[in-house]
Structure 1
Amino acid sequence: MQLDVVTLFPDYLEPLRLSLVGRAIERGTVRLAVHDLRDWTHDRHRTVDDTPYGGGAGMVMRPEPWGECLDTLVPEPAHDTGGPRLVVFTPSGRRFDQRLADELAGEDRLILACGRYEGIDARVVPYARTRMRVDEVSLGDYVLNGGEAAALVVIEAVVRLLPGVIGNPESLAEESHSAGHDHLLEYPIYTKPPSWRGLDVPEVLFSGHHGQIAAWRRDRALELTAERRPDLLPDDRRGEFAIAAAVAADAGELLTLQRAAYVTEGRLHDSFDFPPLTDELGDVEQLIADTTCLVARRGGRLVGSVFGRREADGSWFVGRLMVAPDLQGTGLGRRLLDLIEDAAPPGTPRSVLVTGALSAFNRAFYTRRGYRVVGEEIRGSVPIVVMERRRD
C-alpha cells in the first residue's frame, strides 16, 4: 500500500516509523511519503492561509497550494478502482469506524489531507472529486487542532489490517468492532495470575470446554455492547421492552420465567432446592402483592422482572432480578435494576441484595453497579453473598 500524507508539520508523522507500522514500512508492505504543503507555495513567507470571506474568527487554508499538491500527486484523473483515494479530515465528515478501516485497507493507495486552522477552502474537495475518489472523514464528535493526529489513527487502524502486519491474523476477528465479532465490543480478557488483589478470573475460562467459553464470551460481549454502545447491537437484539408494574395475572408467566432464568444458578451450585426454583404459583402471586414488582415484555412475551421492598431496618431489598436466557446481554437487566432502585422511598439509606456465592458473573455485574459484598450465608444448601450499596 502507498500512503501519501500532506501536512504542514511533517515531523508530526514520525511516530509511524515505530512499532508494527514502522516494521511494515521497513519490509515494504507500506510505502510512506510525507509531503509538506508549503512546498507548493510561491511567496517569500510560504503562505498557506488567509482570512475567511464573510468575516469570522480564524484563518482558512488557501486552495492554490492544495490544488497544485493534488495535481502533482495525481497528474491525471483516476476515478477507476485502481486509482488513489483521498481522505480529507474534517469534523463534519463521515465518522471513522472499523467498517471504513476495512474498506480503506483494500485500497492500493491512500492520500491523507491534514487540514489546519479553521479548515480547508471548501472548493478543494469538489475539485479533488474531478480527479479521484474522495472521503471526508471525522474521528468523532470533537475538534482537533489539525488532521495529523487523525492521520496517525487512521493509518494505524488501516495498516494493521494488511496481510502480514499482525503476527496472528485470527486475533483481528476477536477484536471490538470487527466483522468476525459481529461488530460488537470485545469481551473481557484475562491472563495470569488467576487471582489478583481479591479479583478472580471467571471459572469458565479454566474449564477447557470451548463451547462454554465461546458462549460466555459472546454473552459478555453482548452485555458490554448493550451497556456502552447499544447502537452496535444486532437488529434482533434491539427490540423495545415495555416495563410496567406486575399484576396478579402475570404470576403464571413470571413463575415460568424464574424457573428458566434460575436453572443456571442451580447448576452452578449443584442444587435446585432454593427459591425461586421451588416456588409455586401462590408464592409468586404473594410476591407480586407484597412488593414493588416490575415486569418487562417484548412483543407481548414476559422476558424480565425484578422486585423491591422496604425492610424493617429501612433498607431497600432488591430481589429476583432476572432476564430470559435468550435475551441476557441486551441491557435489560441493567434497566430493570435502575428502575427498581429509583422506586425506593426517599431517604432510603442503602440497597441490599443477595446472589449465589459461585455466581461470578452476577457478582461482577452488581459490583459494576456500585454494590459490595458485606456478608456470606448458607440458604438451604446454597452459599450466598449479601451485597450492599450505600445510597447516600
Structure 2
Amino acid sequence: MKIDVLSIFSDYLAPLELSLPGKARAKGLLDIAVHDLRAFTHDRHRTTDDTPYGGGAGMVMKPEPWGEAFAALEIAESDTIVFTTPSGDRFDQRKAEDLSARPRLVFACGRYEGIDQRVIEHAREIANVEEISLGDYVLNGGEVAALAIIEAVVRLIPGFMGNPESLVEESHSGDTAGLLEYPVYTKPPVWNGREVPAVLRSGDHGAIARWRHEQARRRTAERRPDLLAPSALADGTPIQRAVPGDAGELMTLQRACWVQEALANPGVHIPALHESLDDIRAWMGEWDTYVVRRAGRLVGAVRGRLEGPDRTAWDIGRIMVAPDLQGEGLGRALLEHIQDAAPAAATSYLLFTGAGSERNLRMYKKAGFRLRSDLATPPGAVVLSKPRRPNS
C-alpha cells in the first residue's frame, strides 16, 4: 500500500516512523511519504490560508496549493483522497477495512476553518474521495486524525501483524464485530487478591469462548449500547432506543394502553394514566426506553432500569402495544428485548402489573416470571420476578 500525507505541519507525522508502521515500511509492505503543503506555494510568506468569503471568524485554506500538490503527486482515478474533517462520515472499523483494500491513500490534512470547498469538488473529479471524522469533536488540524486512521488501516495489511489471529479477536472485529473486546488476563493467577476467572484456567475451550462472548456482550451493553444491533420483530421492524422527540407519542400510547388496564383493574390508581408530558420527559431521562415504529407511527414501547439497595434488579415497566396490534406478539418481543438490554450488574428481573390483568400475567408467566407475594406492591398490583441466568 502507498500512502501520501499533505500537511503544513509535517513534523506531526513523525510517529509514522515508529513501532509497527515503521517495521512495515522496512519490510516493503508500506510506502509512506509526507509532503509539506507549503512547498506548493509561491509567495515569500508561503501562504496557505486567507479570510473566508462572506465574513466570519478564522481562516480558510486556499485552493491553489492543494491543486498543485495533487498534480505533483500524479493522483490517479484509482487513488483515494481522504479529507480529515469534523463534518465527515464517522470513522469505524468497517471503514478501516474498506480503506485497507485501497491501493493508494492520499491524506489531506486541513487546518483553521477548513479547506476551500472547491478543492474537495476538484478532488472528486480526479479520484475517489472520503471525508472522514474521528468523532463529534474538533481538533486543531487533521494530522492527529490522519495518524489514527493510518494506524487503524495499515495494521490490516496482510503480513503487518505478527499474529493475524489477534485482529479477529479485537473490539469491533471478526466474529465479535459490533462488540467491545472481552476482559483479558495474564500471569500471575492471583494479583492483589484478585483472581483470574476460573473458566480461563479450566482448559475448556468451548466454555472459554462462551465466557468471552458473554463478557464482550455485557461490556458493550454497559459502555457502548449504541454499538449493539437493534432487536427486530419477525417482520424486520427494529426495536430502537427512544429519543426525546418520542415523548408526545409515548404519552398518547401510554394513555391508550392504560385505559385498558383501568378497565381490567377497576378502582385501582394507575399513575401512567395521570402523567403529564413533562412527567414522561423526566422519566425518559432516568430509564432505558425502547420503541417500535411502523409506517412512522409509534406502536410499542418498553423501559428498564436498575433498582434495589444494591442496584442489581432490572426493573421492567411500561410494556405498551397499540390496542389495534395487540395479540401479534409485539409485547413478547418487547419483553425479550428489555431483558437482553439489561446491564451486566443485573442479577434478576422485576416487573409489576395489575392483579386483574390476566393477559399480562399469562405472558409474564410464560416468559419465566413468577409471582412474589413476599415483596411489597402498590394497591391492586402484583409483582413478578425472574433470576437472570449467568449467560443471559
CA separation in 2, counterparts of 1:109 and 1:95? 20
Deviations 1:237-282 (CA, angstroms, capped at 9, x unpaired): 884699xxxx9xxxxxxxxxxxxxxxxxxxxxxxxxxxxxxxxxxx
2:4 paired with 1:4: yes
> Residues 148, 338 of structure 1: CA spacing in aligned structure 2 closer, same or farther, 3 A cutoff?
farther
Alignment match, 1:130: 125
Unmatched runs of 5 consecutive residues or more in structure 2:
233-237, 242-249, 251-260, 262-288, 293-299, 317-334, 352-387
The alpha-carbon deviation at position 140 of structure 1 amounts to 0.6
Asked if the contact 1:322/1:333 (under 8 Å) is kept, the reply is: no
Asked if the contact 1:74/1:131 (under 8 Å) is kept, the reply is: no
CA separation in 2, counterparts of 1:69 and 1:303? 55
Alignment match, 1:257: none
Alignment match, 1:72: 72
Deviations 1:140-163 (CA, angstroms, capped at 9, x unpaired): 111111111111111111111101
> Residues 328, 191 of structure 1: CA spacing in aligned structure 2 closer, same or farther, 3 A cutoff?
farther
CA separation in 2, counterparts of 1:52 and 1:297? 44
Asked if the contact 1:219/1:328 (under 8 Å) is kept, the reply is: no
CA separation in 2, counterparts of 1:305 and 1:148? 41
Within the candidate set 88, 92, 98, 2:93 is matched to 98
CA separation in 1, counterparts of 2:120 and 2:291? 47
Aligned amino acid, residue 330 of structure 1? A
The alpha-carbon deviation at position 201 of structure 1 amounts to 1.4
Identity, % of aligned positions: 55
Deviations 1:7-53 (CA, angstroms, capped at 9, x unpaired): 00111111111100000011110001111101111111111111111
Secondary structure, in 3 states, of the residue corresponding to 1:130? helix
Equivalent pairs counted in the alignment come to: 284
The alpha-carbon deviation at position 318 of structure 1 amounts to 6.4
Alignment match, 1:216: 211
Alignment match, 2:43: 43
CA separation in 1, counterparts of 2:305 and 2:47? 66
> Residues 25, 85 of structure 1: CA spacing in aligned structure 2 closer, same or farther, 3 A cutoff?
same
Alignment match, 2:155: 160
In angstroms, what is the RMSD of aligned CA positions? Answer: 3.9
> Residues 326, 168 of structure 1: CA spacing in aligned structure 2 closer, same or farther, 3 A cutoff?
farther
CA separation in 2, counterparts of 1:66 and 1:337? 60
> Residues 321, 26 of structure 1: CA spacing in aligned structure 2 closer, same or farther, 3 A cutoff?
same
> Residues 317, 173 of structure 1: CA spacing in aligned structure 2 closer, same or farther, 3 A cutoff?
closer
Asked if the contact 1:305/1:336 (under 8 Å) is kept, the reply is: no
Alignment match, 2:14: 14
Asked if the contact 1:175/1:181 (under 8 Å) is kept, the reply is: yes
Return 173-182 or 110-119, whichever deviates more. Answer: 173-182
The alpha-carbon deviation at position 304 of structure 1 amounts to 9.3
The alpha-carbon deviation at position 339 of structure 1 amounts to 9.8
Alignment of 1:1-392 (within 5 A): 1-74=1-74, 78-79=76-77, 83-236=78-231, 239=239, 308=308, 316=309, 330-331=341-342
Asked if the contact 2:304/2:342 (under 8 Å) is kept, the reply is: no
CA separation in 2, counterparts of 1:147 and 1:328? 42
The alpha-carbon deviation at position 230 of structure 1 amounts to 1.4
Asked if the contact 2:313/2:350 (under 8 Å) is kept, the reply is: no
Aligned amino acid, residue 56 of structure 2? G
Aligned amino acid, residue 100 of structure 1? K
Aligned amino acid, residue 63 of structure 1? P
> Residues 164, 321 of structure 1: CA spacing in aligned structure 2 closer, same or farther, 3 A cutoff?
same
> Residues 205, 48 of structure 1: CA spacing in aligned structure 2 closer, same or farther, 3 A cutoff?
same
Unmatched runs of 5 consecutive residues or more in structure 1:
248-295, 309-315, 341-358, 363-392
CA separation in 2, counterparts of 1:91 and 1:220? 33
Aligned amino acid, residue 175 of structure 1? E
Aligned amino acid, residue 40 of structure 1? F
The alpha-carbon deviation at position 336 of structure 1 amounts to 9.1
Deviations 1:282-341 (CA, angstroms, capped at 9, x unpaired): xxxxxxxxxxxxxx99999x9999874xxxxxxx4767669999987633565898999x
CA separation in 1, counterparts of 2:110 and 2:193? 49
> Residues 90, 111 of structure 1: CA spacing in aligned structure 2 closer, same or farther, 3 A cutoff?
same
Secondary structure, in 3 states, of the residue corresponding to 1:34? strand
The alpha-carbon deviation at position 73 of structure 1 amounts to 1.5
CA separation in 2, counterparts of 1:137 and 1:70? 19
Aligned amino acid, residue 71 of structure 1? A
Secondary structure, in 3 states, of the residue corresponding to 2:132? strand
Q: TM-score, normalised to structure 1's length?
A: 0.63
Aligned amino acid, residue 331 of structure 1? A
Aligned amino acid, residue 129 of structure 2? V
Asked if the contact 1:223/1:329 (under 8 Å) is kept, the reply is: no
> Residues 44, 100 of structure 1: CA spacing in aligned structure 2 closer, same or farther, 3 A cutoff?
same
Deviations 1:69-95 (CA, angstroms, capped at 9, x unpaired): 1122135xx43xxx1100001110011
> Residues 298, 107 of structure 1: CA spacing in aligned structure 2 closer, same or farther, 3 A cutoff?
closer
Asked if the contact 2:339/2:349 (under 8 Å) is kept, the reply is: no
